[in-house]
Chains A and B, each alone.
Chain A
Amino acid sequence: MMSQFVLRNLFHRPVRTAIGVLAIGFEVMLVIVIVGLTSGMLQETAKRIEGIGADIMVQAPSAQMFLMMSGAPMPIKIADRLRELKYVQSVAPALLQFSTAGGVETIWGIDPASFHAVSNGFVILQGHELQGPDDVLIDDWQAKAKKLKVGDTYELLNHKWKVVAIVEHGKAGRIFVPITTLQDLVGARDKATLFLVKCTRAEHTDDVIAEIKELLPTNPVRPVKEFMTLMTSTNIPALQTFINSMIALAVSIGLLVIFLTLYTTVLERTKDIGVLKSLGASKILIVRALLSETALLCLMGIAAGVGLSYLFRSGFLKLFPTLSILITPGWIVRAGLIALVGALAGAAYPAWLASRKDAVQALSYD
């Protein structure tokens, strides 16, 4: 009977219920999408780093896990010293430059020969390798996103580049230019952001890492395979704070909407509450009825939120094909629980208010 009562009450005011469901849906979607976007981008970046084929990555002492934030503080000559180490087959320096012109881009400045030696080269879908100083390689996702083809001019960092090839995605970045040109453009002559090291055999990775640590004791030296597990929001400065802030914002919106919805519901149902009291309904029963209604509303909102998240992702990826939103069951459950707790917190005061209403006043309410 209680479930029927709750259900009927919920559908008695369909517009209000729909607004409540939508509000919770947006809250859930916001959490899922924000977390999905950050973790998606991190995972995707990690996969592309792994896809290079290098065994070790050497960064500058103050470097960030999130490569695009790292700058170029290391002399490129370190590459020569690394090449001298035992079990090192090849070393490729790379200069990474963050660009926000026309989107969020990380431009990889590479030395084509050494990068080829480490990565076995690109899978070129159209065009040819970097040859001239103003050549640029882009991956197929970038070409699709920017509607570029071989022979087009691509303006980056206030510089006009010529697209000479479209390569298969999944290796390092999406945009590759000659390292020397990029060094000149950003004022980092003879500097590199990171060094990619290929060992003679993968089993020698630990030995080479030990050697590099001896040579460069303050530099982070990581096996590339480890990079994937380290690319999480907790390892990126301020990112977790950003995510937490966004979640708090989403929860606040949901909580306030539920509070307002329930508050108006309780006002509107003042007489009904008086009737329930005249029938002998206890305060607990009244609170339970309202909280059950909220929980049901919230469950519908969570379902809507999950649906909206997938809908948003498909629309978003059409607009920004180079980005990635990772929707995981773990975060769907977490977003649902966050929404549920927020909604129940928002409903608690109106429910308590309802349970304490004076029966006689409630019955004479119009």
Chain B
Amino acid sequence: MSITVRIQTQSTAGTEPELKTLEPILKTENLWKLYHAGKVEVPALRGVNFDVLPGESVAVMGPSGCGKSSLLYVIGGLAQASRGKVYVDGNDLSTMTDAERTKLRRHKIGFVFQRFNLLPALSAKGNIAIAQYIHGDGFDPHRFEVVTKMLGLEGRLHHRPSEMSGGEQQRVAIARAIINEPKILLADEPTGNLDTKNSDIVLEMLRRLNKDLGQTVVMITHNPEATAYFDRVVHMRDGIIVDGIPAD
């Protein structure tokens, strides 16, 4: 899928908006993911067709076990597709080796998890800096300052995860995910372990990342209220996308 949009850029200010064709930054074609329980094949994804445009924010909703997390792991390159195609920024993940997918993940994808998944031995600063280290460009103090300031983490950088609240931990996780300016931010129920107040803070931050910085965001959620922060909502059921039909 590609769409044609009118874009008013600075160079064309005062003139007719320029027509541009946007290619999806994320695209799946007949995507299948099968898990093996002994000799039995259990399909988690059954031919998913899914597109996300650059700068778009998409919430994926659906009941437990419908394949939302599997979809996230496959499009994030953490799991290999069983059948079908996955394109991330023009790269076909389905033909890539594990090492190639690791490299792509390092440079183009950021993850935020439900349980924060911070490294317990490191401080907040260490958790964010290690992402920069793995990325390979070394510690960028300017970028680090911008991100931590934006997420309100300045005063908590030397605290370990065990010394921080859930909301703070999730903000550190978001900082870690975006510190290397990934093309796509994938969030797996990021508010699932948070109270309402902290959920709103995290969702607002994801919205700001999308609106202010143009960050492409795909979020999985159970929470219907969370979808209000997103451009588009996609529903899943039984391993497929059921557009227009509420899953619950």
Q: Which residues on A are within 8 Å of B, measured CB to CB?
A: 1-2, 4-5, 8-9, 11-12, 271-272, 274-283, 285, 359-360, 363
Contacts and interface: CB of A to CB of B under 8 A. Distances in A.
Interface in B51-107: 73, 76, 78-79, 99, 102-103, 105-107
B117 to A, nearest CB: 5
B134 interface: yes
A282 B79 CA distance: 15
Nearest to A276: B134
A279 B131 contact: yes
Interface in B20-78: 73, 76, 78
B14 interface: no
Given A278-B76, A359-B79, A5 B103 contact: no
Contacts of B73: 359-360
Interface of B: 73, 76, 78-79, 99, 102-103, 105-107, 109, 111, 113, 117-122, 126, 129-135, 139, 176
Contacts of B118: 275
CB-based closest 9 A-B pairs:
A280-B106, A12-B121, A1-B133, A8-B121, A359-B78, A280-B105, A278-B111, A275-B117, A9-B121
Contacts of B117: 271, 274-275, 278, 363
A280 B176 contact: no
A272 B78 contact: no
B107 A272 contact: no
B126 A279 contact: no
Nearest to A271: B117
Contact of A277 (B102, B122, B139): B102
15 contacts: A1-B133, A4-B126, A5-B119, A9-B121, A11-B121, A271-B117, A276-B130, A279-B105, A280-B102, A280-B134, A281-B106, A283-B99, A359-B79, A360-B79, A363-B78
B188 to A, nearest CB: 9
Given A360-B73, A360-B78, A280 B135 contact: yes
Contacts of A4: 122, 126
Given A5-B122, A8-B122, A272-B120, A277 B78 contact: yes
A340 to B, nearest CB: 23
A264 to B, nearest CB: 15
A5 B134 contact: no
Contact of B99 (A11, A282, A359): A282
Question: Main secondary structure on chain A at its contact with chain B?
Answer: helix
Contacts of B120: 12, 272
Contacts of A1: 126, 129-130, 132-133, 139
A278 to B, nearest CB: 5
Given A1-B130, A1-B139, A9-B121, A279 B79 contact: no
Contacts of B111: 278-279
Contacts of B131: 279
A162 B109 CA distance: 89
B122 to A, nearest CB: 6
Contacts of B176: 279
Contacts of B107: 280
B76 A279 contact: no
Contacts of A283: 99, 102
B155 to A, nearest CB: 21
Given A8-B121, A272-B120, A363-B117, A279 B130 contact: yes
A278 B69 CA distance: 14
Contacts of B99: 282-283
Contact of B119 (A275, A277, A285, A359): A275
A363 B113 contact: yes
Given A4-B126, A278-B111, A280-B106, 7 more contacts: A274-B117, A276-B119, A278-B78, A279-B106, A279-B134, A283-B102, A360-B78
A326 B79 CA distance: 58
A283 B100 CA distance: 12
Contacts of B133: 1-2, 5
A9 B126 CA distance: 12
A272 B99 CA distance: 19
Contacts of A8: 121-122, 126
A55 B107 CA distance: 78
B139 A278 contact: no
A7 to B, nearest CB: 9
Contacts of B121: 5, 8-9, 11-12
B103 A280 contact: yes
A124 to B, nearest CB: 67
Contacts of B119: 5, 272, 275-276
Contacts of B78: 277-278, 359-360, 363
Nearest to A356: B98
Contacts of B132: 1
A284 to B, nearest CB: 9
Which of A2, A280, A283 gathers most chain B CB within 10 Å?
A280
B107 to A, nearest CB: 7
Nearest to A1: B133
